[in-house]
């Protein structure tokens, strides 16, 4: 069974039904539903801050946020074109164009040692420099995207970079980085995620004072 396709059709039905209901009258009265959920056959509950389902004229209306959380399929509305967007966007948005916050050990850098890779000068990159313990950042996709694609490499020590949904503490992906290897490109599902916690760990001994230099290239993007 293609769970994603079934979910997408269900979403469209719910939203279109909602549009008709709201168009029929200026005021619509609904009742909070005690609807229970099963996900792939097992009892499941959305996060505590999710909106509640409602019953309007005998029909159940499920919040899009709940469906996104269950299916990991992002759903947004482009108000300028009155278009419902399900899944990845057609046009990608560079990671560096969206908001990001860094601690003192991580940030934007134009240092040639970091922005030159495989003969290409990338001008600027996100760098966790000389990490002996860990470095931390926060990315803000603000629930607008389905996927984050990151292009990463490390210099110096072996390192690990972890991506976490700050709201739920769910681990989105952990990537192991080896120095002297090719560029690592990885896709991360960020459907329904507002903030991504990014933690860089050095996996080598601190005694050599070498640290890990982890570089996220500007070719990284949301879609």
Q: Can you give the residue ranges of every domain in the chain?
A: 3-86, 93-222
Q: For residue 34, what are its two tokens? A: 């005690």
pLDDT of 46: 86
pLDDT of 24: 47
Beta carbons of 100 and 137 less than 8 angstroms apart: yes
pLDDT of 90: 87
pLDDT of 48: 65
170 band by pLDDT with thresholds 50, 70 and 90? very high
pLDDT of 8: 42
18 band by pLDDT with thresholds 50, 70 and 90? very low
**Tens of pLDDT along 70-87?**
889 999 888 888 888 899
Q: Is the pLDDT of residue 25 over 70?
A: no
Q: Please provide the average confidence, as pLDDT, over all residues in the chain.
A: 84
Task: Give me the percent of the chain exceeding a pLDDT of 90.
Answer: 46
First vs last C-alpha separation in the chain: 26
**Tens of pLDDT along 34-61?**
888 898 989 998 886 667 888 988 888 8
**Tens of pLDDT along 116-163?**
998 899 999 999 988 887 899 999 999 999 999 999 999 888 899 999
**Dist. CA 67–CA 150, nearest whole Å:** 26
Half-sphere exposure of 167 (CA within 13 A, CB side): 17
H/E element holding 8?
Answer: helix 3-24
Beta carbons of 159 and 201 less than 8 angstroms apart: yes
Q: Angle, to 10 degrees, between the axis of helix 64-71 and the axis of helix 3-24?
A: 180
Q: For residue 56, what are its two tokens? A: 């309007």
Q: What is the DSSP letter of 67?
A: H
pTM above 0.95, yes or no: no
Separate counts of helices (H) and strands (E) for the chain: 3, 21
**Dist. CA 40–CA 144, nearest whole Å:** 25
**Dist. CA 7–CA 100, nearest whole Å:** 32
Maximum C-alpha span of the chain: 71
Q: What is the CATH number assigned to the segment(s) 93-222?
A: 2.60.120.1060
pLDDT of 13: 42
Q: What is the DSSP letter of 183?
A: P
199 band by pLDDT with thresholds 50, 70 and 90? very high
Q: Is the pLDDT of residue 4 over 60?
A: no
Beta carbons of 4 and 73 less than 8 angstroms apart: yes
Q: Is the pLDDT of residue 3 over 50?
A: no
């Amino acid at each position: 069974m293609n769970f994603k396709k079934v979910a997408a059709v269900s979403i469209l039905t719910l939203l279109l039904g909602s549009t008709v209901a709201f168009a029929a009258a200026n005021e619509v009265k609904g009742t909070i539903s005690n609807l229970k959920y099963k996900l792939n056959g097992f009892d499941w509950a959305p996060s505590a801050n999710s909106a509640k389902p409602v019953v309007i004229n005998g029909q159940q209306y499920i919040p899009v946020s709940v469906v996104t959380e269950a299916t990991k399929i992002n759903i947004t509305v482009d108000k300028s074109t009155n278009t419902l967007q399900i899944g990845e966007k057609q046009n990608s948005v560079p990671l560096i164009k969206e908001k990001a916050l860094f601690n003192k050990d991580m940030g934007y850098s134009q240092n040639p040692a970091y922005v030159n890779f495989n003969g290409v000068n990338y001008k600027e990159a996100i760098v966790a420099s000389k990490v002996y313990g860990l470095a931390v950042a926060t990315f803000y996709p603000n629930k607008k995207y389905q996927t984050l694609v990151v292009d990463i490499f490390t210099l110096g020590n072996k390192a690990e970079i972890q991506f976490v949904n700050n709201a739920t503490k769910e681990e989105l992906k952990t990537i192991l980085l080896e120095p002297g290897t090719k560029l690592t490109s990885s896709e991360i599902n960020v459907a329904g995620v507002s903030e991504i916690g990014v933690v860089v760990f050095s996996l080598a001994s601190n005694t050599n004072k070498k640290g890990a230099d982890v570089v996220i290239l500007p070719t990284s993007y949301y879609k």
